[in-house]
A and B are shown apart, each in its own frame.
Chain A
Amino acid sequence: MNIRMLLTFVLISAMAAFAGNQAAKAPFTIELSTDQPAVKAGSEVSIKVHLTNTSKRVLDCSGTISNLTGVDPNYVFEVRDEANSVVPLRVYEHPELATGQPVSRSLKPGESFTDEQEVSRLIDMSRPGKYSIQVARRISDDKKDGVIKSNAITVTVTP
């Protein structure tokens, strides 16, 4: 192996390692939990969303919350029933008339906060059964960066 070949090998290895580190280190983490894993049908289903900024940059968490649903628009909720089917969103009569308010906040590197999200205002969870709830959040405004998903939790709606 000559010097050129050696340098090429080292460069390729370094790039591969850098790429691996970038992929492994997400800029934030989302962790779901709930104090009420079982609720009666008709009751609200709230979960706790714990967001931690694991990057070295300030993470903007702003959005404008609709008073119709009350959930943070930065989160994409996916709720599946026992048949693993996606549970549809709730239908409101005049969604275009929803009031709202902007929420301005950000997370410094290492900071975190926990929000309660009343997911049942967004998704119809009125029928008894077991629901699997997972939350995704876009890494950036660029869709190509993809999303980061939370863990999934199960909430049981009893008759």
Chain B
Amino acid sequence: MNRTQVLIALLLFVAAVFPHSAVAQNDIFSDTGVIDVTYICDTVNGDDGCFIEGFAVMYGDTNSTNLHGLSQTSVSADSFDDGWDGYVVGDVLRDSTEIAGPTQAGDNGQGVSVVTWNVAIDLNATHVFDVRTDSYYNYMGDAGCKGGGTCVYIASTQQMVTLGRPGVTSITPPYVFVGTSGTLTLKGNNFVNPFGNPTTINTSKTGGTGFSVSTGTVSAMQATAPYTATLTATTGNWDVGLSYALGSSILVSTFGAFTVGDPTPTFSSITPSSWAAGQANIPVTIKGSYFGSNPVLVIAGVTSSITSHSDNGQPGGAVINANVTVPGCSTGSALVTVTSTGYNGTGFGNAYPGQLPYVIMNGTIIPAPALAPTIGGTKSPVSVGQLASLTGTVPAQACTTATSWNWQLPAPQGTTVGGFHASTAGGVTLDPLPANTNSSYAFYWVYPGSFGVSAQYTLVNGQTSPTTTSTFTVKGLTGGPLSNTNYGSLTVDNLTGCPAQVGGPYLVYGNVAGPAPGCPGKTMGTPGIVFDVSKYGQPSAGTFSWVQLISSDTTTSTHSNGTKYTCTTTAGIDLSYPYGSHPTATTANDAPEAPLPTSFATVSRSFVATMYPLWTSNAANAIPVPIGNQGWQFSGQTILVGGKWQKPTGNGTVGSFTAANGNQPNKGYPVWTGKATSTCQ
């Protein structure tokens, strides 16, 4: 087959494949049939450098079978030099712009006219090529068509073709997971080689393995590609290319935004899902999907270790067996996280932005219970005023970290105080009970009885213990009551002076001999009042102390002319805290003395006071506790007659004893706000 025959055959083929581009202007064309273009940029007929070539030919053939239907016979006439010359003329347009021709060729004298074009194809862009031809006869007797003479139009033809590189604009789905297979759908343009060379779809990635596609159906703008991504396929971006040969060139469109990634792990179950705090090595099975070939298990707040795992890459095909050890004080929920590191050993490969490589769910921790505490420290029985220093202890158990305690003194609580302070100037201050939220609790019972102390605690895991109650026997003084010896009257006694004070006669409640006020030394005789607590039985070794409060004390010295000098004592504590005059361990006394200067004619005194005995255990850190109080008073006067003070009138009485109790003000303790001070005018 010569070249012409080849071209003809090719034209027929193109016309068959691209019927739209073989436009017959009239039936002459179809009958003569040999006016056409072809495009040679392929390897089918030998590469010519990928040019578009136009070829039009008219030839004479008198054979009726070739000329049937041809109304003109001039072809054959021309062929036989009948006075007509045959011509063909044509050009090539690209995107409506003429880029070749027009070229005209005349009869070669043998009935054949040929024009050809050879236009390079730009493979980097898509263009519409338009090849047009006309054929006609010019009458030889005049100038023909071109010269305005006689010509006969035979036929024209036009072929249009779009040529360009294939382009993939999208792939659906945009990513696939390892361990899956399916079909990709590619969309774009120029997917089909206009000359019939097959279109191929494949994948590529530098160093990548495990992801492959095959070429499915291909149309101009869409193609399908069955794919397979093995479980260990290389993850990341892969190139998916669509290509076909055009001449010696392989036209390829690469879609580089396609991803092969690892699937997101999912949970289906965790068994058991509740774990008791304090238990070690609890076997736990976690089932799900896509945990990967080397999953990482983290359970917040507990210790976990994977003992075995498997994953076949199929839904529901992942299992992790682990041991879980829960700290003793854990509680609440524990966040279980399984992180996939993929399947190929290079780590988790995201299939899409934002994809999480892990899955979470919650396990439940059953908190360890709080057992009843023990109460230690001070043991029963105790004495009143003895420090009860108690300590709560959390028993041996899974969780021993207590965040708070709750000490209570159930009814009857007894009279309890947190502490005792006393000073001459400030009186008695009783501290409130200490905070009951610490593990230790220290306080004092002021009065005897049988009392309970309860304690419970709350663990750091929120569990509150049962209450433990200890019962204490609090022993107090027995017997009593306070007794007294009241002198009952006033006397005039001569007291001994010293450098600080002159001696002389004094109006004394009682009958004494000794130093004048402001002088050291022992006073002998009978005090005005003696209080005695010796009838009390002590619950344990201890000591007695005293507080005397003066309610009023007024001494009036009157001159013979009637002018008075009055000393008034404000209410307050007598002397100091504690009361200093206690000649024995169980007694306290008083013998108030007022001077009797001879410059006065009359001296009178009225005195009211209350004595408070207290008892203090010898136990360490004990505080005084009140026993009760007893008021007493005296009043009387003496007059100066003949330079001698007469036997005083008046008397002294003692009130009834009032035992102390917790309902009294200040819980029965004496109340004062300062020292009793005397002012004279």
Residues on A facing B (Cβ under 8 Å): 35, 44, 46, 60, 62-70, 72-74, 93-106, 115-118, 138
Contact = CB atoms under 8 A, between A and B. Distances in A.
Interface string B649-667: 0000000000000000000
Nearest to B600: A97
Closest 4 CB pairs of A and B: A100-B517, A102-B523, A66-B518, A66-B517
Interface of B: 423-425, 495, 498, 500-502, 512, 514-523, 527, 553, 555, 557, 565, 567, 569, 574-577, 580-583, 589-595, 597, 605, 675, 677-678, 680
A115 B580 CA distance: 8
Nearest to A118: B675
B449 to A, nearest CB: 31
Nearest to B576: A116
Contacts of B553: 99
Residue among A46, A65, A97 with the highest chain B CB neighbour number at 10 A: A97
A44 B425 contact: yes
B678 A68 contact: yes
Contact of B521 (A63, A116, A118): A63
**Chain A interface SS verdict (over half):** mixed
A98 B582 CA distance: 22
Contacts of A98: 501, 517-518, 595
B593 A64 contact: yes
Contacts of B565: 94, 97
A104 B592 contact: no
Given A96-B502, A101-B591, A62 B522 contact: yes
A119 B557 CA distance: 28
A105 B582 CA distance: 5
A97 B501 contact: no
Given A100-B516, A106-B583, A70 B595 contact: no
Contacts of B580: 65, 72, 103, 105, 115
Contact of B680 (A35, A46, A97): A97
A101 B501 contact: no
Contacts of B591: 101-102
Nearest to B545: A113
Contact of B520 (A46, A73, A95, A99): A73
A64 B516 contact: yes
B424 A95 contact: no
B593 A102 contact: yes
A67 B500 CA distance: 13
A70 B565 CA distance: 20
B170 to A, nearest CB: 90
A22 B592 CA distance: 39
A102 B575 contact: no
Given A97-B567, A99-B567, A115-B580, A69 B518 contact: yes
Contacts of A105: 580-583
Contacts of A103: 575, 580-581
B545 to A, nearest CB: 9
Given A64-B521, A73-B515, A97 B595 contact: yes
A116 B516 contact: no
Contacts of A104: 522-523, 527, 581-583, 589
Contacts, number: 128
Given A66-B517, A69-B518, A106-B583, A46 B575 contact: no
A150 to B, nearest CB: 16
B519 A63 contact: yes
B386 to A, nearest CB: 21
A124 to B, nearest CB: 16
B516 A101 contact: no
A70 B593 contact: no
B492 to A, nearest CB: 14
A96 B567 CA distance: 12
Given A63-B520, A99-B555, A99-B592, A115 B576 contact: yes
- For B517, B574, B575, B677, the residue with the greatest tally of chain A CB atoms inside 10 Å of its CB is B517
Given A73-B520, A74-B520, A101-B592, 19 more contacts: A46-B425, A63-B515, A64-B516, A65-B575, A67-B517, A68-B517, A73-B515, A97-B565, A97-B567, A98-B518, A99-B517, A99-B555, A99-B567, A101-B593, A103-B575, A115-B576, A116-B423, A116-B424, A116-B425
A118 B675 CA distance: 10
Contacts of A99: 517, 553, 555, 567, 592-595, 605, 678
Given A66-B501, A98-B595, A60 B522 contact: yes
A118 B594 CA distance: 21
29 contacts: A35-B423, A46-B425, A62-B523, A63-B521, A64-B514, A64-B523, A67-B569, A68-B518, A69-B518, A70-B576, A73-B498, A73-B515, A73-B518, A94-B565, A96-B502, A99-B553, A99-B594, A99-B595, A100-B593, A101-B517, A102-B581, A102-B593, A104-B522, A105-B581, A116-B425, A117-B576, A118-B424, A118-B675, A138-B520
B231 to A, nearest CB: 84
Contacts of B575: 65, 70, 101, 103
B581 A101 contact: yes
Contacts of A63: 515, 519-521
A101 B680 contact: no
A63 to B, nearest CB: 4
Given A62-B521, A62-B522, A63-B515, A95 B576 contact: no
Contacts of A73: 498, 500, 515, 518-520
A65 to B, nearest CB: 6
A93 B565 CA distance: 12
Contacts of B592: 99-101
A70 B527 contact: no
A26 to B, nearest CB: 18
A60 B574 CA distance: 21
B289 to A, nearest CB: 77
A66 B423 CA distance: 20
Contacts of A66: 500-501, 517-518
Contacts of B677: 70
B582 to A, nearest CB: 6
A131 B449 CA distance: 50
Contacts of A65: 517-518, 575, 580
Contacts of B597: 96-97
Contacts of B581: 101-105
Nearest to B681: A93
Contacts of B557: 97
A129 B677 CA distance: 26
A127 B115 CA distance: 137
Contacts of B514: 62, 64, 102
Contacts of B589: 104
Contacts of B523: 62, 64, 102, 104
Contacts of A64: 495, 514-521, 523, 593
Contacts of A102: 512, 514-515, 523, 527, 581, 591, 593
B419 to A, nearest CB: 16
Contacts of B576: 70, 115-117
A65 B590 CA distance: 11
Contacts of B593: 64, 99-102
B634 to A, nearest CB: 12
B278 to A, nearest CB: 52
